[in-house]
């Protein structure tokens, strides 16, 4: 416990991690999820502090296995924003997988004007050469998820999995529902409704890549 002033609190990082995961396990209902997603769901709750989100998780049956296989094969991780990319724990990636965000590419503004869409959607246009077998993690922009689904329906290379966590009041819920309802057979993990965000998208990658390694070794 820290005790240099009036406040006392847990300050040991290992204890913080372990106690946090114990609390998450105690307060989170996982019965409706396949066991292969339990550790990822726990990591998602740990990232946002809201056990209630688990009831809104939706996933294809094989998403955990497909993500693990893709990462073990060295697949890249494609993200819509740098905050997702920075949240991925690199030391837990099995093959030093490349994490790619194209939002800051200088070609994006012109592309956005050309396709009459947001920069986030335009950045997806630069994923084509990296998409085959990739792990896609979208944690901010509904337009990125919508546009990706449109491109995939047009015949673009298929990723191994899509982790869809756009957040917000305009298009977020609808884009995730489109992911759930897509008929391309793409493995996915998503959180229905308005909630989402970069921390959750990164947590999904970390959970699928490494489970709960912090819970075990701090």
Angle at 164 between CA 162 and CA 167, to 5 degrees: 165
Does 92 participate in catalysis according to the annotation? no
Query: What residues form DSSP beta bridges with 57?
Result: 191
Q: What does the block give as tokens for 177?
A: 């529902």
Give the closest residue to 101 by CA, choosing from 144, 143, 160: 144
Q: What does the block give as tokens for 176?
A: 């995730």
Q: Which of 46, 86, 92, 130 is catalytic?
A: 46
Q: What does the block give as tokens for 89?
A: 């724990």
Which residue is it, tokens 């008929």? 183
Long-range contacts of 23-27 (CB under 8 A, 24+ apart): 24/51, 27/51
**Distance, CA of 172 to CA of 196 (rounded, Å):** 8
Long-range contacts of 28-37 (CB under 8 A, 24+ apart): 28/54, 29/54, 29/55, 30/54, 33/57, 33/59, 34/59, 34/61, 34/64, 36/64, 36/65, 37/63, 37/64, 37/189
| Catalytic residue numbers, as ranges | 46
């Amino acid at each position: 416990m820290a005790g240099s002033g009036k406040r006392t609190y847990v300050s040991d990082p290992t204890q913080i991690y372990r106690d946090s995961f114990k609390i998450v396990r105690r307060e989170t209902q996982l019965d409706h999820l396949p066991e292969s997603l339990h550790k990822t769901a726990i990591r998602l709750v740990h990232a946002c502090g809201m056990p209630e989100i688990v009831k809104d998780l939706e996933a294809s049956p094989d998403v955990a296995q497909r993500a693990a296989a893709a990462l073990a094969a060295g697949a890249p991780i494609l993200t819509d924003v740098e905050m997702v990319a920075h949240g991925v724990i690199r030391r837990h990636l099995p093959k030093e997988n490349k994490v790619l965000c194209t939002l800051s590419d200088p070609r994006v503004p012109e592309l956005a004007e050309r396709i009459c869409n947001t920069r986030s959607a335009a950045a997806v246009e630069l994923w084509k050469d990296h998409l085959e077998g990739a792990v896609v993690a979208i944690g901010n922009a509904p337009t990125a998820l919508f546009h990706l689904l449109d491109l995939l329906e047009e015949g673009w290379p298929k990723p191994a999995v899509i982790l869809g966590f756009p957040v917000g009041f305009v298009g977020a819920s609808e884009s995730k529902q489109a992911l759930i309802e897509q008929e391309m057979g793409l493995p996915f993990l998503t959180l229905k409704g308005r909630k989402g965000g970069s921390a959750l998208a990164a947590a999904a990658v970390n959970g699928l890549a490494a489970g709960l390694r912090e819970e075990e070794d701090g």
